[in-house]
Chain A
Amino acid sequence: MNQSAPIEDVSTAKPNGFLAISARGLKRHFGAVRAVDGIDLDVPRGMIFAILGPNGAGKTTLIRMLATLLRPDGGSARVMGHDLIAEPQAVRGSIAMTGQFASLDEDLTARENLILLARLWGFRGREAKARADELLDAFELADAARRQVKNFSGGMRRRLDIAASLIVTPGVLFLDEPTTGLDPKARQGVWRMIRDLAKTGVTVLLTTQYLEEADQLAARIAVIDQGRKIAEGTSRELKAEIGSGFLHVALAEASEIDRAATLLEERFGNTVQRSAEGAQLSVMAGTARQANEALSALMAAGIEISDFSMGSPSLDEVFFALTGTPADSAEQGEQKEAAQ
C-alpha cells in the first residue's frame, strides 16, 4: 500500500487563482473549547503572511489543520490547489511544517537529520547527502554538520529546523512561532532567512505573538483571538486602525495617576490605558511633536515623570484597540494549548 503522493513541481502546480491557501469557515474544538471557530483565510502565493495572536488564540490549531496534522471539525480549505480533506497526501507533497518545538532527532547529527529527511522525500544515497550539504551551507551550519543536535543552541536548532523544511522547496512553508525563545541576535538571523526564502517564491505562513515580528516580516497580518479572526490587513492598515505612535509614561507618584490620565485624555481624545501596577499610562499620541507637548503639559501641571517612551503598541494594546478588552491572559491560554 503505497500512499506516497506524486511530488509535483511547485512552478507547474495547477493554478488556482493566485492563492496558496484558501480557507473557509475552518473549525476545530477540543471538548468545550472552540480553539478555531470559523476562520476564513486567503493567502496569495509568494507572500509572507502572519497570524498574530496571544497564547491560546488558536494559532497553532489553525496552522496544524492547514498542515494536515489535525482534521478540521468544519469548513474547508485548499492548499496549493489541493483539497485539505480529500487530498491530504497531495497537500503534504506541497508544504513543509516547522512546529513550535524543534522537530529534529536530538541523537543524530545535523547532517544525518537532513539526510534522513532527504531520503524520506525520495532522494537516493549520494543525492540525499548533496542536498543535506547544500542546505547546511545555506543556513551557515556547515561547521556544526557532524555534531549531535542535542548540543545545538536555540538559534542553530531553529535554523536547522527551517533547513529541514526545505529539502524539497515547498509551495507553502508553515512556521509556528519561529522565534519564540530565541535571543535578539538569533531572532534577527531567523528573520533574515525567512525574508531570503520568500524571495525564492515560497509562500510563508507564520504565527507569532509579537506585533514587531509580524510588522517586520509580513506583507499581510491576520489578528486572531479566541478562535476568530478579528482583523486583517497590511501592517500599515492595521496600524492606521490601531495607531502606531504610542506614548508610554511612568509617573514618579502613583497617586497622581488620575490627574495625569484625565489630562492626557483631554489632550488626545483617546482612552488612556493604565498598567496593572498603577503608575504607568499608555495612550495613542499621534506624532512625536504632540507627545512632546503632552509631556510638557504634564510637567507644567506639576506631575513628576520618572520615565517615558514612544513606541509601537504592544500586543495588549493592539487587542485593546481592536476588541476593547485585554488579550487573554497567558496562563489561561496555555491551559488551552495544553488541551490540544
Chain B
Amino acid sequence: MSATSPAMLTTARPARPPSAASNALVFGWRAVLKFRHVPEQLFDLVMTPIMFTLLFTFVFGGALAGSPDDYLQFFLPGILVQTVVFNSVYSGMGLSTDLSKGLFDRFRSLPIWQLSPFAGLMVGDVLRHLIAGLIILGIGLILGFRPEAGVSGVVFSFLLLFAIGFGTGWIFIVLGLLIRTPVTVMTIGFTVIFPLVFASNIMVQPETMPGWLQAFVVNNPVSHMTTALRGLMAGTATGGEVLLALVAPVLLTVLLSPVTLWLYRRS
C-alpha cells in the first residue's frame, strides 16, 4: 500500500468555471490525442482513396479520357469529395462507441456546455479531412495533377471540403446517437452514401448513362459538390456552382442539428 490514499487528497477547485469555448477545445484536444494513439485510423482514411486514384488513373484513365494525365485532372477533385463524404463516418462510429461505453454519461453529468462533445467531434472531423485531403492531393501532384487556380484554388477547395464534411457529418452523428453498435453505424451509413457517391459525376460524366440514371446523377448533391470543386481547382468555378454545392450541407445542418440535440437530451 502506498503512502497516500484518497483520504489524504486535497480538495481542489479550479479558479473559475470554464467557458463553453474552452470546453469545446478540450474535446478537440481529445480528438488530436486519438490520432496520436490510434495512428492506424489514418491508414483506413487514405488507403481506399489512394487505391481508387491509382486504379482509375492508370487502368481506366486512358480509356475514359484519352490519357491517364487528362483523367487525373478530371478525377482528383472528385476523389477528394468522395474521401470527405466517406470519412464522416468516423465521427458517428466514435460517438456510438462513446455512448456504448458509458463515457457520455460521465460527460453529461459534468457542469459543462452540453453540446461541447459534438464540437469536439467536429474538430476531429476537420483534422481528418485535412490530413486525408493533403495526402491525396500530394499523391495527385506527384502523379501530375495541376490545380490551375494555384494555391488560392486549393485553399478554397479545402474550405468547401470542410463544409461538405460538416454537412454529411450530421448524418453519421444522428446514426451514432440512434445505434449503439459502431459497426452497424458504418454499415447503414455506407448503404446510404454508396449509391450517392457512385451514381455521381465523380468518375465519369453522365452523358453515356441511361436517361433515368442521368436524371439522378445530374441532380445528385454529390455531383454538384464535385462540379464546384473541379471549378475551384481549375479557377473556373461560378458563384452559382459553389452555392449549389453548399445546398446539401446547409440543409443537412439545418435539419439534423435540432434532431441531434433532441436525441441527445431526450433521455
Interface set of A (CB-CB < 8 Å, partner B): 1-7, 9-11, 64, 67-71, 89-90, 92-93, 95-109, 112, 116-117, 119-124, 127, 131, 134-135, 137-140, 142, 148, 164, 166-169, 192-193, 196-197, 199-200
Shortest Cβ-Cβ A-B pairs, 7 listed: A122-B14, A122-B18, A103-B106, A196-B7, A169-B11, A93-B111, A101-B102
A136's nearest neighbour on chain B, judged by CB, is: B4
On whether the beta carbons of B109 and A196 are closer than 8 Å, the reply is no
Instruction: Collect the chain B residues with CB atoms within 8 Å of residue A121's CB.
Output: 14, 18, 110-111
Contact of A108 among B1, B30, B114, B116 (CB under 8 A): B30
- Is B9 an interface residue when CB atoms closer than 8 A count as contact? yes
Instruction: Collect the chain B residues with CB atoms within 8 Å of residue A139's CB.
Output: 6
Q: Are A119 and B102 also in contact (CB < 8 A) when A4-B18, A108-B37, A135-B9 are?
A: no
On whether the beta carbons of A122 and B17 are closer than 8 Å, the reply is yes
| Assembled-state Cα–Cα distance A102/B103 (Å) | 8
Contact of A107 among B5, B34, B107 (CB under 8 A): B34
Interface set of B (CB-CB < 8 Å, partner A): 1-2, 4-20, 22-23, 26, 29-30, 33-34, 37-38, 98, 101-114, 116, 267
On whether the beta carbons of B17 and A92 are closer than 8 Å, the reply is no
Instruction: Collect the chain B residues with CB atoms within 8 Å of residue A197's CB.
Output: 6-7
| 10 CB < 8 A contacts A-B | A4-B17, A4-B23, A89-B111, A103-B103, A112-B33, A120-B112, A131-B12, A148-B37, A166-B6, A193-B5
Least distance between B233 CB and chain A CB atoms (Å): 35
Instruction: Collect the chain B residues with CB atoms within 8 Å of residue A96's CB.
Output: 109
On whether the beta carbons of B30 and A200 are closer than 8 Å, the reply is no
Q: Are A119 and B26 also in contact (CB < 8 A) when A101-B102, A107-B34 are?
A: yes
Known: A90-B111, A102-B101, A200-B11. 14 other contacts (CB 8 A): A3-B113, A5-B17, A95-B109, A96-B109, A97-B105, A104-B101, A104-B103, A106-B101, A108-B30, A120-B112, A123-B14, A131-B12, A139-B6, A193-B5
On whether the beta carbons of A166 and B108 are closer than 8 Å, the reply is no
| Assembled-state Cα–Cα distance A250/B148 (Å) | 88
On whether the beta carbons of A68 and B109 are closer than 8 Å, the reply is yes
On whether the beta carbons of B5 and A7 are closer than 8 Å, the reply is no
| Assembled-state Cα–Cα distance A183/B108 (Å) | 29
On whether the beta carbons of A7 and B11 are closer than 8 Å, the reply is no
Least distance between B38 CB and chain A CB atoms (Å): 5
Instruction: Collect the chain A residues with CB atoms within 8 Å of residue B98's CB.
Output: 105
Contact of A4 among B19, B101, B103 (CB under 8 A): B19
Instruction: Collect the chain A residues with CB atoms within 8 Å of residue B19's CB.
Output: 2, 4
Least distance between B34 CB and chain A CB atoms (Å): 6
Instruction: Collect the chain A residues with CB atoms within 8 Å of residue B101's CB.
Output: 101-104, 106
Contact of B14 among A64, A89, A99, A168 (CB under 8 A): A168
Least distance between A41 CB and chain B CB atoms (Å): 18
Contact of B2 among A9, A10, A120, A140 (CB under 8 A): A140
| Assembled-state Cα–Cα distance A173/B108 (Å) | 15
Least distance between B263 CB and chain A CB atoms (Å): 14
Instruction: Collect the chain A residues with CB atoms within 8 Å of residue B1's CB.
Output: 140
On whether the beta carbons of A120 and B23 are closer than 8 Å, the reply is yes
A93's nearest neighbour on chain B, judged by CB, is: B111
| Assembled-state Cα–Cα distance A123/B4 (Å) | 22
B97's nearest neighbour on chain A, judged by CB, is: A106
Least distance between A149 CB and chain B CB atoms (Å): 10
A108's nearest neighbour on chain B, judged by CB, is: B33
Instruction: Collect the chain B residues with CB atoms within 8 Å of residue A119's CB.
Output: 18, 22, 26, 29
Least distance between B2 CB and chain A CB atoms (Å): 5
On whether the beta carbons of A1 and B18 are closer than 8 Å, the reply is no
